[in-house]
Amino acid sequence: MPEILNHTQFASGQYLEICQGDITRETTDAIVNAANSHLMHGGGVAAAISSRGGEAIDRESREWVEANGPVTHGKPAVTSGGNLPCKYVIHAVGPIWGSGDEDAKLREAILGSLTTAGALEARSIAFPAISTGIYGFPVDHAAQIFMQTFKEYFEHNPNSSLNTIRIVLFDDMTAASFSKAFQKEYVTSE
């Protein structure tokens, strides 16, 4: 189990948890993979998910791209969880820092993942810190966008099937940045 660093309940009843741990061990219905547009799972979170999830994730990813073309920011791909404890992997493409309009692209990737999870009737979802690794998105800035986007999602979708959103962060620095953004968005505004 990951360590829960912060948590809150939205007015609509859903929960948000900021955790430190290993996303590949999450038992949520869905986990989000920080993917590239061709679903080549070669490094970072994507490599960890692919390695632990097994051949099914790689095969289903290739089939998805062959059938649908490259994945976009707002329309993630979905595969099974393979050998992972989750049912689904939602492959979200975040922006590369410096590519232009990064804030909007990150919001699209987050909202696309939440919308996809809702369409799958998932009750819970776990996110990594999309785009903050090799894509270079500043962690503090990304954390603020995540907090604001989750709040907006439940304000507009109070009847979503999602009951729990969990952000699972691996390293101390990223966990501290997301905890700080959480405090700013949810604790000081109460």
pTM of the model: 0.95
Dihedrals φ, ψ of 18, to 5°? -105, 120
In the predicted model, residues of the chain with pLDDT beneath 70 are 188-190
Beta strands in the chain (DSSP E): 3-9, 15-20, 30-35, 77-80, 88-93, 124-127, 164-169
The full set of domains in the chain, from first to last, is 3-187 (3.40.220.10)
CB 125 within 8 A of CB 166: yes
- What's residue 67's pLDDT? 97
- What's residue 150's pLDDT? 96
- What's residue 188's pLDDT? 63
- What's residue 189's pLDDT? 47
